[in-house]
A = this chain, B = another copy of it.
Amino acid sequence: MAQQIGIKAALEEASKGYAEGGVPIGSVLLDEHGAILGKGHNQRIQKSSPTLHAEIAALENAGRQKAEVYRKATLYTTLSPCSMCTGAILLYKIPRIVVGENVNFKGDEDLLRERGVEVTVMDNHECKELMRRFIRERPEEWNEDIGETN
């Protein structure tokens, strides 16, 4: 149930991103009680940002937090996290992440698991459909976002 609420909030962010013409990936950071610490969506197109992936945007929106807060938090993201976002999760020792889907892109989940992060993949239909649509519509921008050549 908590997972459904978390992924729904992340998906709302992803949908906002799509409506803005952006890469439709959303993320929320929840505290130990399930309250939202921060939320965000990918800003590559909107802000010409190569680093504001959804997870980074959610961490940024949460602002400066003590180490203890991150260590009890859960990060939700609509898509499997890339290497950069994986690294951010490792930096702050976020113990649990919930991933909407990893069919359209699979990031560094194995490294997360190796380092002790609990990774749950929901295989969420809406997450998959939204991402699939964007990749079909804007393949060049998608490749740019994951550092791939066109």
Contact = CB atoms under 8 A, between A and B. Distances in A.
Interface residues of A, number: 37
Contacts of A91: 82-84, 146-147
A149 B67 contact: yes
Number of copies: 2
A85 B85 CA distance: 9
Given A50-B62, A62-B50, A147 B70 contact: yes
A92 B147 contact: yes
A64 B144 contact: yes
A87 B16 CA distance: 26
A98 to B, nearest CB: 19
A128 interface: no
Interface in A41-92: 44, 48-52, 56, 59-60, 62-68, 70, 82-88, 90-92
Given A44-B64, A50-B62, 13 more contacts: A48-B63, A49-B60, A50-B64, A67-B143, A67-B144, A67-B147, A68-B149, A83-B87, A84-B88, A87-B108, A91-B147, A92-B147, A93-B147
26 contacts: A48-B63, A49-B60, A50-B60, A50-B65, A51-B59, A51-B60, A52-B60, A56-B56, A67-B147, A67-B148, A67-B149, A67-B150, A68-B149, A82-B87, A82-B91, A84-B87, A84-B88, A84-B90, A84-B91, A86-B87, A87-B90, A87-B108, A91-B147, A92-B147, A93-B147, A111-B111
